[in-house]
């Protein structure tokens, strides 16, 4: 799987819920390799409708759905959860064997908890972790202060040592993405850098190029 450029959607930055699919389609042309549908305020029915529209255009690009485990299970999509959304065991139980789980991670304590799982219940480990926020971000209202590049890269190394791919998230744009190149991150997650871009295709191309150095 190509984690190098992971797009998290936002129904407002893209100009409205009805514009999300169009933005994603243009970003795919620019090199986005993974998409996460995140819509905190939409109903399950609205999220499912957008997910079905995305599945129709994504081809081999995987679709993660943020938090809505029932929708992910119904559509056979992958799932992303935060530290406070639901236990990994509950998420695994709801999904099929081929569905992946992404988990938000922001500290050594979060990774220490995964070490515990690796010993007792390795089947519950996430398939990818999103580490951040790397930089301060206004996209997620309840996001903590940025970790900084050095700390984020250190956590990515810890994840890599456990054979869990890590993607960086939080305040990443065309100016800051190069600070994460050459690290143990498998890729970067962006939201506004593509969703709010005048040219999502060009923005995606630039971000991917700069990440790969």
Residue 116 has pLDDT above 80, yes or no: yes
74 carries a ligand binding annotation? no
**Annotated binding residue at 39?**
yes
Supply the range of the domain harboring residue 147.
Answer: 5-211
- Cα end-to-end span (Å), the chain: 19
Q: What is the rounded average pLDDT for all residues in the chain?
A: 95
pLDDT digits (tens, 9 = 90+) for 43-68: 999 999 999 999 999 999 999 999 99
Output the pLDDT for position 136: 85
Residue 85 marked ligand-binding: yes
**Nearest-10 Cα torsion for 21, 166, 176, 17:** 20
Could you give the percent of the chain with pLDDT greater than 90?
93
Per-residue burial over 122-136, b = 16 or more CB atoms within 10 Å of its CB, e = otherwise: eebbbebbbbbbbbe
Tell whether residue 171 is among the known ligand binding residues: yes
Across 73-80, average pLDDT = 98
Query: What DSSP string describes 131-174?
Result: E--SS--SSSTT------HHHHHHHHHHHHHTT--EEE-SS--T
Output the pLDDT for position 143: 64
Tell me: is residue 66 an annotated ligand-binding position.
Answer: yes
- The answer to whether 192 is a known ligand-binding residue is yes
Could you count the other beta carbons within 10 Å of the beta carbon of residue 192? 18
The structural domain count of the chain equals 1
Q: What CATH number corresponds to the domain at position 192?
A: 3.20.20.70
Residue 145, pLDDT score:
83
Res 14: pLDDT: 85
Tell me whether residue 40 is annotated as binding: yes
Residue 213 pLDDT level (bands cut at 50, 70, 90): confident
- CB burial of 137-152 (b: ≥16 within 10 Å; e: otherwise) equals bebbeebeebbeeeeb
Q: What pLDDT, on the 0 to 100 scale, is given for residue 137?
A: 74
Alpha-carbon dihedral sign for residues 79, 83, 86, 89: positive
For the stretch 134-190, pLDDT in tens is 998 766 656 678 999 999 999 999 999 999 999 999 999 999 999 999 999 999 999
> What is the CA 15 to chain-centroid distance, rounded?
20
pLDDT score for 28:
98
Does the annotation list 37 as a binding residue?
Answer: yes
Query: What's the average model confidence in pLDDT over 76-94?
Result: 96
| Residue 145 assigned ligand-binding role | no
Helix or strand run (H / E) with residue 7: strand 5-8
Q: Report whether 137 belongs to an annotated binding site.
A: yes
- Rounded-to-integer distance, Cα 37 and Cα 174, Å: 22
């Amino acid at each position: 799987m190509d984690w190098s450029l992971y797009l998290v959607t936002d129904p407002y930055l893209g100009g409205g819920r009805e514009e999300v699919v169009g933005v994603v389609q243009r970003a795919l042309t620019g090199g986005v390799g993974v998409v996460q549908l995140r819509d905190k305020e939409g109903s399950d029915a609205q999220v499912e409708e957008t997910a079905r529209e995305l599945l129709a255009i994504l081809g081999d690009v995987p679709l993660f759905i943020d938090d809505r485990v029932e929708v992910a299970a119904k559509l056979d999509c992958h799932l992303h959860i935060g530290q406070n959304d639901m236990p990994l065991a509950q998420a695994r139980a709801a999904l099929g064997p081929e569905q992946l789980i992404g988990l938000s991670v922001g500290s050594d304590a979060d990774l220490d908890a995964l070490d515990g799982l690796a010993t007792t219940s390795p089947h519950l480990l996430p398939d990818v972790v999103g580490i951040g926020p790397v930089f301060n971000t206004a996209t997620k209202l309840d996001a903590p202060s940025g970790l900084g590049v050095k700390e984020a890269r250190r956590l990515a190394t810890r994840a890599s040592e456990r054979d869990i791919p890590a993607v960086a998230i939080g305040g990443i744009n065309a100016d800051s993405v190069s600070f994460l190149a050459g690290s143990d991150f498998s890729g970067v997650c962006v939201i506004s850098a593509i969703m709010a871009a005048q040219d999502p295709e060009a923005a995606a191309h630039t971000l991917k190029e700069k990440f790969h150095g």
